[in-house]
Every structure is written in C-alpha cells, then in structure tokens.
Structure 1
C-alpha cells in the first residue's frame, strides 16, 4: 500500500459532496418513514455542511487571490478562479432552493412551484456553464445534471401542487429518457472494456482502466434505475415498502461515486487557496505523512534454496539457448596500407 499513490488522483470535492448526499438521503428516508422525528432543519444538516464548506472554501480562496497577486501568474490560475466563482454562485442559488424546501416541509406555506424556481433558474444557467466548462476543460457534473433535468423539475413542482394529476410514472418521463441514454453509455463502456481485454496491443494499465470504468458506471446507473422504479411505484401506491428500502439502491450508487472520487483527478486548486494537488497539499500540511507516504508494502512469496537454484538453472539454459541461436558472421580482415 502506498499512501501517495492512493491520494494521487483523489478529488476531495467529489468525495465531500457524495458523502454528504449519502448521509442526507438516509436521514431523509428515515424521516419520511417516521423512524426519526427530527426537524427537517436537522435532517438537512449534511446539506448545510456541504454548503458551508463551499462558502468557506471560496471565501478563503478569494482572500488569497486578492492578498497575493503574484499567485495569479500561475498556469490557468484565472480559469481555476473563475470556475470557483461560478461554482459558488450556483451553490448559493442551490442553497436558496434547499432553504425553501426545508421551510416548505416544516410549515407548508409556499407553493412547490415557487420553491422550485431557483432550481429551474440553475438548470437554465447551467446550459451556458456547461458550454464554458467544455471550452476550458473543467468538470461540470452538477451543472449537467441540472441542465438535462429542467423539464423534470417543472413536472415535479406541478405534480406536487396538484396542478396536474398524472401518475408518477408519467411525471418521471424526462428522467426515464435520461436513464435510457445512461444505459446506452453503460453498454458502450462494457463493450469497449471487452474490446480492450481482447486486444493484445493494449497494455495492462489501459485494460484495467477500461474494466474499472465499466464496473463503476454499471454500479452507478443500474441502482439509480432500480430506485426510480421503486419510487414511482411507491408514490403511486402500487407497492407498500418503506422509503429507506426505496432509497437503498442509491446507497450502492453513492458508495460507487465515493470510491470513484479516489481516481477522479481534476478538482479546482483554488478552493481554500491550496493552489496545488490535494496529495501534495496534505503531505505538506502533515509532515508525519511524508515519511509514511514513501513507504510501500508489498506481499512477496519467499523462495527457498532449492527453488532459487532451479530458477538460476532455467535462466542459464535460456541464456545458453539464446547464444546458440545467434547468427554466425564471417570474420573479415581489413588490411591497412602502410
């Protein structure tokens, strides 16, 4: 085990977001099942932690940006900083939506269509953000999720306010379409991984990466599809199961996302003003880890004297055979004139 290789491609932002969402979904399902009677403000605690980290990280990063102007000369510093500000703006609008949802669940004094207005606004703005992110090679998972689900958010708000009386299977039609496209992507990754495994010209690292991607996306998409089916049937009263059972497939998806965050790479270097990879930063901040990071543990099979002697004999025979197969060239004598 090598600590440095473990955190080399670690993306702390995705790790924090997915962990907070996993805890929140579990608490929210327990609250809907009346297994816990906490206030919704307490149930949303993981969401508040997530948003607090975002605001604190952007604030510290902005302070360092303006306090030390020479840091702006670093490569892609302006792109990273602008990306951080865009992400902060979207998270603040998302925070407004979450506050309205929490207040609606506690008091019920708003229409759901009013609650969803910030989320619909984010979905529209996210289209432009996705285009900007593609041009500057930045990650845009959250923005893409909002952009492709804008119609779904509208349907949810109208259905919750009883403006439409469709079944929940019909309400989730936009999400069914997204999931179908995701299944096509999963099928593509599986086929591509199979091709890599059967291609001798591909090295072992590429084969392993392709196989890991196929497994990861499979365990990500399939549980979400199962959750969607269970949720639609639960809301239509076609099945009688608890909400914690409904969301249980999501636990598999979020655990997969958490594990994938250790190989996600990327990440904005200006969060909290660290200006470097997370691995380099954490090793610099914790000197004790530097010594441990340089230690790698290997499990090797010990060989006794007889096995070593047999191995040496085989190597000697291979070398001897190679010498016999060498071509014999005639000796050419070149006479030098006096």
Structure 2
C-alpha cells in the first residue's frame, strides 16, 4: 500500500472550538496545581486567565456572528442557518452561567479571609442552574443533530456539584471517596464505553468488508478514548487519596494524568465534527476559511504526498540511463471541491518508480 500524506485531510474535520477549550483547560489546570503547591505566587485572577480567554472568545464570537446575522438577512436562507445561529446563542448563554460561577469561585479563593461568610453552595448555584438547563439543551441538540459535550458533562454531574459544595461547607462529613460517588458511576460507564470501542475496533480491523479509512478511524477513536478515560480515572483516584490524607503527592503530580487527558482531547479535535459555522460570522468550515485568507496555505499547505511503499533497487547503469532521460516527479492537480464556491486545488506529488 503506498504511503499518502494529505495536509488538508488533517484539517478537514478540525474543530477549532474544542481545540481552544481543551487547550485553555489544560493550561488552567497546570497553573492551578502550581498555585496549590505554592510553586507560583500569582494571583488567582492570573491563574484563571486561560478561562477568561476562553469566555472572551465565546462572547466576541457570538457578538460578531449576531452582527453579521442581522446585517445580512439573505444569509438566513442558507441551509441550517437558523439551527446554527440558535445553537450559538444557547451555547453563549450557558457559557455566561459558567463564567458567573468562575468569577465567584475566583473571588472566593483570592479573598478567602474576607469571604468566610460566603458559602460554597451559593457559589455553585450558577453551575447547578447550568446543569439543570443542560438537560433540556441535550434533548434539543439530539433533535437538531448538534454536538452537546459541555451540556452532557454538566447534566450528568449535577449531583456531583451539589455534593462538592456541601462538603466544602462542612454540611456533610463524608470522606472524599464517598463525595465522588456520582463521578465513580460516570467513570464506570465511560470505562464500559472504552471497552466497547476497543472490541469494535479489533473486530473491524480484521473485517475485509470495511474500507481502510473506516478501520483506521475506529482504531483512532478506540486509542483516543483509552488515552482519555484511563488517565481521568487515575487522576480521580490520586485526588481522592490526597484529599483523604492517604497519600502525600503534590497537586502537580496528581494533575499530570488530567493534563494527559486534555492533551488527548486536543489531538482528537482534529477528527471531531465541524463546529458551528456562525461563530465570528465565518459561515463556512474553518479549514476553508483559513485557506481562503492565507494564500500561502493554498500553495504549500494544501498538498497531498503519495510515495511508493518501498523504493526499487536500481543499479548504476539504470540510474545513469534514467538521468539521461531526465526523469522527474509527476505533479497532478485535482480539485476536491464540487460546490459552487471557488475551487481550492490540491497538489499531489508522485515520486518516480
């Protein structure tokens, strides 16, 4: 089988929203662990900076998309425009509730001495309210065939948020291993899903009726879910033992498995479903928009390389004859876009046999 490398294929299913979210969460968790270990003396407002950047991008993207939506009524006639726009508005509202929770939590941590009378249960109210709304948003997203990862995470962990708030306020005296019971249940379901993905990938790899791309895709999903769920489970175990006083690891060591999970999610964002087209008013796939504004990427990034599996053995006489004939690489230009939009060519370079 020849070796083929398609640069555009890497970004064809790239989801920039997920990449930014998981990247911000990775940096935030790293900074928070260093802050808890007293390795840095920064203010919590600086530690939460990745979260502020995330929410700022959401707000600016929604405002830009809304302005383009109202200034161009003809855009509303596009296929699925109303669904994309409604999804953007709903997602922004949920992010505003999450931002309210983060602001209250950051203020509580930064001014712990002056916020002793502020109960954690009051701080968690926006998050609990967000989780309750997420139930309805999940059903609506299934109806319109939209992604709902954030909504699903909040809805299944609403009881976990309440237990954490009660524990921090000392209303319950349970150990953390009992406080995390809802999360243990969620992780059990996730482990079952990972086991199912691994078994399915093994079956499809040995099946001759499946095209190679689908087999590689299922194998990639199985490996990705494994590298995401297993470190999450390790992180939960380490955190529970540390908070219960069973181990004396640093918060940075406890957080390392979580960072691995976020890094895996960042990689998996290159094979995720495309994000909402109305963020920032792009109205098109992120890859198409990026190729449109960067001419250099059209010429140098939009390339497909195809090489033979192994180079043939050529003696000196054949090599000299080939040089005399002036053999060179063949360059093929083929179009990949069948839509009425401007065609962006792909250059395929085949090495000579």
**TM-score past 0.5 threshold:** yes
Alignment match of 2:145 (pick from 114, 134, 137)? 137
Alignment match of 1:116 (pick from 115, 120, 124)? 124
* Equivalent position of 1:16 in the other structure: 20
Alignment match of 2:72 (pick from 60, 68, 71)? 68
8 Å CA contact retained: 1:3, 1:292? no
Figure out how many residues of one structure are paired with residues of the other and give that number. 309
* Equivalent position of 2:241 in the other structure: 233
8 Å CA contact retained: 2:8, 2:303? no
Q: TM-score, normalised by structure 2?
A: 0.85
Aligned counterparts of 1:288 and 1:237: Cα–Cα separation in 2? 56
> Structure 1 residue 186 and structure 2 residue 194: aligned?
yes
Which structure has the larger Rg?
1
Map 1:236-251 onto structure 2 (within 5 A): 236-251=244-259
Alignment match of 2:299 (pick from 278, 281, 291)? 291
In the TM superposition, residue 304 of structure 1 has moved relative to its aligned partner by 4.2
Aligned counterparts of 1:230 and 1:213: Cα–Cα separation in 2? 26
Q: Residue deviations 1:249-271, cap 9 Å, x none?
A: 01111111000000102210000
Aligned counterparts of 2:303 and 2:294: Cα–Cα separation in 1? 15
* Equivalent position of 1:273 in the other structure: 281
Aligned counterparts of 1:262 and 1:268: Cα–Cα separation in 2? 15
Unpaired runs of at least 5, structure 2: 319-353
> Against the structure 1 CA distance between its residues 234 and 107, is the aligned structure 2 distance closer, same or farther, given a 3 Å change threshold?
same
| Higher mean C-alpha deviation, range 192-201 or range 252-261 | 192-201
Once superposed, which parts of structure 1, at least 4 consecutive aligned residues long, lie more than 2 Å away?
293-306
* Equivalent position of 2:32 in the other structure: 28
| Higher mean C-alpha deviation, range 77-86 or range 282-291 | 282-291
Q: Residue deviations 1:99-135, cap 9 Å, x none?
A: 0000010113121000000000000000000000000
Q: TM-score, normalised by structure 1?
A: 0.89
Map 1:1-338 onto structure 2 (within 5 A): 1-108=5-112, 109=115, 110-300=118-308, 301-305=310-314
From the two aligned structures, give the one with the greater strand fraction: 2
Unpaired runs of at least 5, structure 1: 310-338
8 Å CA contact retained: 1:2, 1:293? no
Q: Residue deviations 1:201-226, cap 9 Å, x none?
A: 22211211111111110001000000
In the TM superposition, residue 305 of structure 1 has moved relative to its aligned partner by 4.7
Aligned counterparts of 2:313 and 2:95: Cα–Cα separation in 1? 62
